[in-house]
Amino acid sequence: MLHPDVIARLADELAEADRTHGVIERITARHPDATIEDSYAIQARWRDAGLAAGRRLVGRKIGLTSRAMQEATGITEPDYGVMFADTAFESGADIPAEQFSNMRVEVELAFVLKEPLEGPDCELEDALRAIDYAVPALEILNSHIELAGRTIVDTIADNAAYGAMVLGTTHKRPDEIDLRWVPGVLSRNGDIEETGVAAGVLGHPARGVAWLANKLHQHGARLEAGEIILAGSFTRPVWVSQGDVVRCDYGPMGVIECRIT
């Protein structure tokens, strides 16, 4: 693993890039032997600094769970990051472009847990029992590491490229709807850019929640009741910039709209 001083320095670089909305050189270009465990250690140090500064954790995001996202990034295994309360928006919100780097939008479902979920042997059925309800969500990607040539190590260290989420208003329990067939039709300025169905996420979007519980167990943690889990995109990311109006139609799960300002 990387030396703790190197991990601390890289976490500080990412924190400064987040503050200034800048982009840094790939970690793997400078440290080609860096491992996935190194990247989660960098992310954890960044997370802990945020918590120490008074930010409040509201959940986790899972990334790279669909073929569309894996092909778009060239990365073939899922990852996860953390979500702070000050990054959560409601449908209809204005999203300030100046707060993001390499800003893109993804179509997802989010899950709110009614009970804790802990690995190491969680299956889809365990996740469904722990979920209170599903809600449509857009994820705003925020990449502080140069995109060309990046690996899973770079992405994880950068909090899995998470920037913000926009939540819809329609809530559905897992037994009220077949979550696999929730659609997403993403438009930018009135033009349809991406479409997909939630089954693109590991065959069932809640399967990612089970994956995350098992992954967190490896790091001595678990998912807690009340946490929001972004399950991963079932479309490719769409680039957005200041002035864009974003709309996503989730069929029976309603519509999300936001403006990039």
> Listing from the earlier edge strand, what are the strands of the sheet with 94-95?
94-95, 255-260, 245-249, 183-188, 191-197
Residue with tokens 């029992």: 129
Which structural domain, as residue segments, surrounds residue 196? Answer: 4-260
Find out whether 151 and 75 touch, Cβ atoms under 8 Å: yes
Whether residue 11 has pLDDT greater than 80: yes
- Residue 249 — very low, low, confident or very high, per pLDDT cuts 50/70/90? very high
- Residue 78 — very low, low, confident or very high, per pLDDT cuts 50/70/90? confident
pLDDT at 81: 97
pLDDT at 71: 72
Number of domains composing the chain: 1
Tokens of 9: 């320095």
Find out whether 229 and 223 touch, Cβ atoms under 8 Å: yes
Distance CA 154, CA 76 (A): 14
Report the percentage of the chain scoring pLDDT > 90. Answer: 92
Q: What is the largest CA-CA distance in the chain?
A: 50
- Tell me whether strands 228-230 and 57-63 are parallel, antiparallel or unpaired: parallel
Find out whether 140 and 163 touch, Cβ atoms under 8 Å: yes
Strand partners, 229: 60, 111
pTM recorded for the entire structure: 0.94
Mean pLDDT estimate for the chain:
95
Tokens of 170: 């329609």
pLDDT at 65: 79
pLDDT in tens, 121-153: 999 999 999 999 999 999 999 999 999 999 999
Whether residue 68 has pLDDT greater than 90: no
CATH number (domain holding residue 17): 3.90.850.10
Find out whether 202 and 65 touch, Cβ atoms under 8 Å: yes
50, HSE (Cβ side, Cα atoms, 13 Å): 23
Whether residue 70 has pLDDT greater than 80: no
